Amino acid sequence: MKQVFIIATKEFKAAFKDKVFLVITALFLLLSIISVYIGSSTRNAEMKAYQDIVEILESQGATNFPLSPEIFPLAILQNIIKYVSIIGAVLAVFLGFDAFSGERENGTLKLLLVRPLYRDQLVTGKLLGAGLVIGVLLAITLIFNTLLFSLVSGILPNLNELSRLMVFIIMAFIYMMIFYIATLFVSIKTGDRAFGFLTMMVVWILVSFVIPQLADSQRSFAYALNATNQTVTQIPSDTVISKGIEIFSPAVQFQNVGKDLLQGVSETATMNVFEILSRQALSLLYILVPGVILLFASYRAVQKEDVL
């Protein structure tokens, strides 16, 4: 176990010494902060508009007032779901693309494998190191955003909201780790780090953009006529085909779970965490299954002689 921690510590330090990684990390944090700020400001504007209307009605002597807009505090953090699913995935790819191929190119893989160390310990050490990096990053995101959210919106999250937020961060961790594991697998199998990086970029584009768009194209649409404005609104709804296509996109599955957790869907906005997780059990399964398969495949691949 000591060997695993030595490797994990080295991976952790190396990540935070890498300038490109630091730039992507800074971008990730910045975008999440901006999104919270915009979300909070929008919510404040909506509340102010409502209060202005109430004041006008009051001055006109009205006693019946429209209902206050239904605002769910965590919905302010909604944009983070997209940032994690897109930039978080890139970050994980960047963290892992040369985990093995880089060691091979540097000649350090052989130096590691002649140490009193099992090959699976090397994989575990790399996973633990990446897990620490992603964990620290998400913890910083959580703390920053919760503070900013409370400061700008003036709302202190209650226990249910905090637990939703925590579970969302855990889900984000799992999602990013799955991208890391996939990248690690590619890095073990390919001898060339540039090829490995490009392969994972293609995978990222597929699961983040191509598959979701393909699924969108297979949805059915209902049309709602607004007689006052004389406009027709398209209301997309899932079909078996669109749902089937989305199974292959962990990004879509993560977004589905994320929307429920961060009160983006009004029907689940008041549920507790366990109810949400059981409702999203299939999405969780679709996220976890490829990750577990790739994890086993990585441990198997590293035992093969051609890894050198």
Partner 1 sequence: MIVTEKLTKIYGTFKAIDDLNLTVKEGAIFGFLGHNGAGKTTTLSMLTTLLLPTSGKVSIAGLDIVKDNLKVRGLLGYLPESVMLYGDLTAAENLRFFGKLSEVEKVDVRIDEVLGLLGLIGWKDKKVKTFSKGMRQRIGIAQALLHKPKILFLDEPTSGLDPQGTKEMRDLLLKLNTEWGTTIFMNTHLLSEVTKVCTDIGIISHGRLLLADSISNIERRFPEAKSLEEIYFNIEGGQF
Asked if 300 is part of the footprint of partner 1 (rule: CB under 8 A), the reply reads no
Name the minimum Å distance from CB 194 to partner 1: 16
Q: Interface with partner 1 includes 3 (CB under 8 A)? A: yes
128 counts as binding partner 1 under rule CB under 8 A: no
φ/ψ (deg, to 5) at 265? -115, 120
Q: Could you say whether residue 302 binds partner 1 (CB under 8 A)?
A: no
Instruction: Write down the least CB distance from residue 124 to partner 1, Å.
Output: 14
Taking the complex as a whole, the smallest distance from the CB of residue 171 to partner 1 amounts, in Å, to: 32
CB-side neighbour CA atoms (13 Å) of 254: 29
48 vs 115, which CB is nearer to partner 1? 115
Rounded Cα distance, 308 and 292, in Å: 24
Q: Give the nearest distance from C-beta 176 to partner 1 in angstroms.
A: 23
Question: Binding of partner 1 at residue 18 (CB under 8 A)?
Answer: yes
The residue range among 116-124, 135-143, 151-159, 255-263 that interacts with partner 1, by the rule CB under 8 A, is: 116-124
Q: Would you say 96 or 258 has its CB closer to partner 1?
A: 96
Q: How far apart are the first and last CA of the chain?
A: 23
Q: Least CB distance from residue 114 to partner 1, whole Å?
A: 5
Let me know: does 171 contact 258? Beta carbons within 8 Å. yes
CA separation for the pair 43, 266 (Å, rounded): 16
Q: What is the DSSP letter of 158?
A: -
Which member of 42, 47, 105, 214 binds partner 1 (CB under 8 A)? 105
Greatest Cα-to-Cα distance within the chain, rounded to the nearest angstrom:
86
Site stretch for partner 1 (CB under 8 A), options 1-9, 37-45, 74-82, 186-194? 1-9
Q: 110-120: string of b/e by CB count within 10 Å (b at 16+)?
A: eeeeeeebebe
Determine contact, residues 28/90, Cβ cutoff 8 Å.
no
CB of 123 to partner 1, least distance (A): 15
Asked whether position 304 contacts partner 1 by CB under 8 A, the answer is: no
Residue 20 within binding range of partner 1, rule CB under 8 A: no
**Distance of alpha carbon 47 from the chain centroid:** 29
Identity of the residue, 11 or 260, whose beta carbon is nearer to partner 1 in the bound complex: 11
Pick from 68, 108, 158, 278: which binds partner 1 (CB under 8 A)? 108
Which one of 59, 64, 222, 305 is in contact with partner 1 (CB under 8 A)?
Answer: 305
Beta bridge partners of residue 221, listed in sequence order: 236
- Tell me which stretch binds partner 1 (CB under 8 A): 59-67, 69-77, 112-120, 167-175: 112-120
In angstroms, give the least distance from the CB of 27 to partner 1. Answer: 21
**DSSP assignment of 207-268, as one string?**
IIIIHHHHHHHT-EEEEEEETTTTEEEEEEE--HHHHHHHTT-HHHHHHHHHHHHTT-SGGG
Rule CB under 8 A: is residue 17 a binding residue for partner 1?
yes
106 belongs to the binding site for partner 1 (CB under 8 A): yes
Which is closer to partner 1, CB of 1 or CB of 159?
A: 1
CA distances from 257 to 199, 235, 263 (A): 27, 21, 10
Contact 22, 16 (CB under 8 A): yes
Interface contacts to partner 1, rule CB under 8 A: 2-3, 6-7, 10, 14, 17-18, 105-108, 110-118, 305, 308
